[in-house]
């Protein structure tokens, strides 16, 4: 079972994705040579957001929170993004 929640939190947007799968080790996933979680974290960091990853044998929850004023932050950082 998968649950997707999108919320407005004051001046931030939050996306939470949770499942009741078997989980995995976040420590291994975020330090492995694979790029998945590292790339997600880099993208979220680039726009001033926060990535929270929790996983256990009861399932996994990923929450990404980003500021609503992403374009202004991207311009200040002199980054080119397609939004």
Chain segment 27-51, per-residue pLDDT in tens: 776 677 778 888 888 999 988 999 9
In angstroms, the CA 60 to CA 23 distance is 5
In what helix (H) or strand (E) does residue 62 lie, and over which residues does it extend?
strand 59-67
Average pLDDT, the chain: 83
* pLDDT band at residue 76 under the 50/70/90 scheme: low
In angstroms, the CA 51 to CA 65 distance is 7
The predicted pLDDT at position 9 comes to 77
* pLDDT band at residue 15 under the 50/70/90 scheme: very high
pTM of the model: 0.73
* pLDDT band at residue 70 under the 50/70/90 scheme: low
């Amino acid at each position: 079972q998968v649950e997707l929640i999108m919320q407005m939190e004051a001046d931030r947007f939050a996306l939470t994705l949770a499942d009741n799968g078997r989980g995995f080790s976040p420590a291994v996933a975020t330090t492995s040579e694979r790029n998945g979680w590292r790339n997600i974290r880099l993208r979220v960091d680039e726009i001033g957001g926060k990535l929270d990853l929790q996983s256990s044998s009861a399932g996994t929850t990923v929450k990404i929170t980003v500021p609503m004023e992403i374009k202004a932050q991207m311009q200040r950082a002199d980054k080119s993004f397609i939004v």
